[in-house]
């Protein structure tokens, strides 16, 4: 999982929607909610046998301040997760 407080935080490039903040929108609450949910998902996947080092979960916010989570993994890990959900 990557977030600004962790070492190894990386950016995949400039996202203008993510870079421009609008006064009055609570981005921090959305990011915190997404961070908590990403940690819960990572813990659940690891408990189910998916190696946490094989995936990346990144917490962020949409332009409206709502939390979002980006999952990045290999096709093999995606198939493992799909089998778990089925």
pLDDT block averages, 10 residues each, the chain of length 86? 47 55 85 94 91 88 93 92 90
- Half-sphere CA count of 58, side-chain side, radius 13 A: 15
Nearest C-alpha neighbor of 30 from the set 56, 80, 66: 66
Query: To which H or E segment does residue 75 belong?
Result: helix 75-85
Placement of tokens 């203008």 in the chain: 16
Which of the 8 DSSP states describes residue 65?
S
Contact (CB, 8 A) for 58 and 72: yes
Is the model's pTM score more than 0.85? no
Which pair of structure tokens corresponds to residue 36? 């908590």
């Amino acid at each position: 999982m990557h977030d600004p407080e962790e070492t190894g935080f990386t950016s995949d490039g400039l996202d203008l929607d993510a870079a421009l903040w609008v006064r009055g929108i609570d981005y921090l609450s959305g990011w915190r909610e997404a961070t908590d949910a990403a940690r819960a998902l990572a813990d659940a996947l690891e408990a189910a046998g998916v190696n946490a080092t094989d995936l990346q979960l990144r917490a962020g916010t949409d332009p409206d301040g709502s939390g979002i989570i980006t999952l990045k993994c290999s096709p093999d890990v995606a198939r493992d997760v799909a089998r778990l959900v089925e």
